Amino acid sequence: MRKPKDRDFIETSEDLFFCVTGYLHPSDKYTAYLKYAPAEENEETPWIRGSTYYFRQLKHYHVCEVRRSMINLKKKLPHYVYWCPVRNVTLIMVPKSFIRKYYEPEGRVNELLHSETLDSLEEKAAALIDTLSEHSGVRKRNFGLTGSLLLKIHDTKVSDIDLTVYGMMESLKVKETLLDLYKQGGEINRTPREKREEWLNKRRKIFPLPVKQLQRIAGKKWNYGVFKGEKPFSVHPTRKNQEIRETYGEKLYYPMGKIRVLAEVEDASEAIFNPSIYRVNTIKTLVSNSNNRFIDVSEIISYEGLYMDAAKEGDIVEVNGKLEKVVWGKGREYFRVVIGTFEFGDEEYFKVVKEA
């Protein structure tokens, strides 16, 4: 049986589109955020299906925007906001009883590859998947199509091509392929310089990071580019069924306030997913709620896509985020720092202070 995966989509009985996030979901709900909602009467937007226009709910991808969306949902549609007793936080979750349709990105790819009537954007998406599959050796069935193209509300001129790749090894092959293709030039290229500058300027206003750190991150963003000279695309590594190893309720997460630590990255193999996971050795506790006593943090978890694949083994990183105690099994516990939280989203950051 297919497990729910990051970047699946849900259509509800109120014509809302939610994007599934992460891999922890109770048996009767899906953890998600609201991506598209019907526009106001007579308001035209680029996203349309039939006679219904849709409005994108997040001005930009940041936890503070998700928090704003959740506050609005709680006022208007409170049945989508719940306290999670496993993660000890209030989250947006979609009850299965409100689902009209569940969208699987790999199913949309299969549809594209077997259809004889595609619009211009669908043709580009199919061609991009063909190219990446051919050069990487990753089978087309391991690709998915998410976002507005998945929902068939896309605009051929405005919409981007957002792909998922299922599996760690498959994702790494696609990463290597893209880096090679960027060097060669041709149909697939890095995001143009002016767009990178626009990206930097936007994030300078959102994230508490110096410009040099943002420039470094932008330089490592292998999963964003342009296809055939003009169409932006993104690639998002996603876990296969067998790579989703944690079940909901297996571990309990307890908030312990805010913390800033210096740590060495020991294992970054799961940093390509959402959430990104960095296993670390703590060097020093810089600031905490416990009089700055040493706290042995074992993991850094980021729900912010900005920090996906942002550090490698041996790098020394400084992270400012939410401290959590994780309890599992028979009394076993460890500490982790989480980035992308509703509590400290404005102040959180992850930066490499010394490369290996």
Ramachandran sector of residue 50 (left: φ over 0; alpha: ψ -120 to 50; beta: rest): left
pLDDT averaged per 10 residues in sequence order, the chain, 356 residues:
97 97 97 95 88 89 90 96 97 98 97 94 97 98 98 96 98 98 93 86 87 89 93 97 96 96 97 97 89 90 95 97 94 95 92 94
Interatomic CA distance for residues 210 and 202, integer angstroms? 13
Q: Do residues 211 and 127 share a domain?
A: yes
- CA 323, 339, 354, 289 torsion: positive or negative? negative
| Residue 256: predicted pLDDT | 95
Predicted TM-score (pTM) of the model is 0.95
CA dist 96 and 133 (Å) reads: 34
In a domain, 2, yes or no: no
pLDDT, residue 319, reads 97
- Shared domain for 257 and 237, answered yes or no, is no
> Is there a domain that residue 171 lies in?
yes
The answer to whether residue 246 is domain-embedded is no
H-type alpha helices, the chain: 63-76, 105-113, 120-136, 148-151, 168-184, 193-204, 211-220
Contact (CB, 8 A) for 43 and 53: yes
232 and 176, same structural domain? yes
Helix (H) or strand (E) holding 257: strand 251-270
**3-state DSSP assignment of residue 103:** strand
The answer on 272 and 231 residing in a single domain is: no
User: Given this model, what pLDDT does residue 202 score?
Assistant: 86
Task: Confirm whether 191 is domain-assigned.
Answer: yes
Q: Judge contact between 270 and 264, C-beta under 8 A.
A: no
Q: What CATH number did the domain enclosing 262 receive? A: 2.40.50.140
What's the CA gap between 12 and 287, in Å, rounded?
43
Residue 4 lies in a domain: no
